[in-house]
Chains A and B, each alone.
Chain A
């Protein structure tokens, strides 16, 4: 099993969108890829890295969720015998956001980096749990209720106890709330109770100190929740929440200025309905 740890950054021209963690697992019979990167270029490099190690067929490409840094490399893997796998909500999510993401990143990263990027939706959909067999090892896929997004999937290699968590786990990179804050907190608690040997997060280095390494994420999400509940209770506006909620967490996370106000906005709109 192999994992590439992406840069903790926003997708831009300099990094070709290579900011997410991408992995692959080689079984006796076949290979499974977990996320394909932030550009067609990164997808091709991932494919080359796989081919430099094995010529076994790539049977499955799993997307852990719909964000562009995890799916923009999909087109490099379209081939006879390769099936794309994702959460049952992923086709809907990609249809809704795909064209928008492609336009936005054409502006941000330029035409060259975006050449060859196609939105490829999964055909094998996971509603709850599903096992994929690679020969000699099996992967247990789990579809989660809305958390980071409403398309989140984790992948557990049962033989080794290594969990590919996608963006349900963030290390150093501020957690991004683009689904449900309460769902993300619930998923964080559930993950903390899973007996795993090691976790590969969506962003940041692999973790063995489990579940203690999950505590910063839990603390950040709980801080957002508590700050926002207090703001709602006193009649504050969503603008105020965007500026003030979660600010005590600022020193602990990279890209905090890029994402915290957005997290607070999304969470406010969600928690207003409590």
Chain B
């Protein structure tokens, strides 16, 4: 045990004791890899092929804030490859609910990247699986160090979010010169929602606080589906999806979100002229 003396001073005359040890977290003991079972169950036993060169997943090596960890999945099919991505699934192996979300892409959407934010409970592999139009499943993975102990994968400010429940925003971004050449556009849907996991126990009643989260979100341009999210409790509070897509000339973007209490939230926004 530490031999440090427990120093007390009268408040009138205090001295600073600054050691600045700053030793970070240590790795826990190794566990059995949960991935094979998760993969088998999530994809009904279908084979997963190495997807290097076809898709990519980007996440920070260290999750700074366990409640808000950015993740991007990208289609990286080489020029001339006629296949397209039909769906992306993100799986956080060590989370209580490992399948974070499945994003199904509209047939003509041209979606090439999707970014969102997830909760990461502990040090973990994260897998991204893409179903391509050839009917096969392709997988890539990355590794995320959990943040330090003081950052919990739970809400910071529940009252604000609940007070504005279901408010939606759609941001449309100006393109950089690379994107402008390809006509692709980038947008971001945001919705206020606590996305409660249902894993917290009320200390007084000893009952679990029920899950309350956005499980479905769809985005259209005109009548064409851009993407659809089937999401769970690993998606952060205030679900946020940023995506690149091919505009079809429609005048408006539309979104609909449904939560586990069957609230349906709708929004539509005029497509902003490219700057």
A and B co-occur in one complex: yes
A: residues with CB less than 8 A from B are: 1-16, 18, 23, 41-42, 45-46, 48-49, 67-69, 89, 91-92, 94-97, 100-101, 104-105, 107-108, 112, 119, 121, 146, 149-150, 160, 162, 172, 176, 178-180, 183, 198, 200, 204-206, 235, 237-239, 242, 254-255, 258, 261-262, 264-266, 269-270, 272-273
Chain A residues with Cβ below 8 Å from B8 are 2-4, 49
B: residues with CB less than 8 A from A are: 1-2, 4, 6-11, 14-26, 28, 58, 60, 64-65, 67-68, 70, 115, 117, 121-122, 146-160, 169, 171, 173-174, 186, 190, 192, 200-204, 209, 236, 238, 240, 242
Q: Which applies to chain B's interface (DSSP): helix, strand, loop or mixed? A: loop
Tell me the smallest distance from the CB of A114 to a CB of chain B, in Å. 11
Cα A121 to Cα B202 in complex, Å, equals 11
Residue in B closest to A110 when the chains form the complex, CB atoms: B26
Are B60 and A242 in contact, with the CB atoms below 8 A?
Answer: yes
**A273: which of B1, B16, B190, B201 is its contact (CB, 8 Å)?**
B190
Cα A126 to Cα B265 in complex, Å, equals 35
Known: A2-B10, A101-B149. 20 other contacts (CB 8 A): A3-B9, A7-B20, A10-B23, A12-B21, A15-B4, A16-B4, A89-B159, A95-B202, A96-B154, A105-B149, A107-B26, A107-B149, A146-B159, A160-B11, A162-B11, A180-B156, A204-B16, A237-B70, A238-B117, A265-B70
The answer to whether A100 and B121 touch (CB under 8 A), given A107-B26, A180-B157, A206-B14, is yes
Chain A residues with Cβ below 8 Å from B115 are 237
Residue in A closest to B5 when the chains form the complex, CB atoms: A45
Cα A238 to Cα B190 in complex, Å, equals 13
Are B21 and A10 in contact, with the CB atoms below 8 A?
Answer: yes
Chain A residues with Cβ below 8 Å from B238 are 269, 273
Are B21 and A9 in contact, with the CB atoms below 8 A?
Answer: yes
Are B158 and A7 in contact, with the CB atoms below 8 A?
Answer: no
7 nearest A-B pairs in the assembled complex, by CB-CB distance: A104-B149, A262-B64, A205-B16, A9-B21, A97-B152, A261-B64, A235-B173
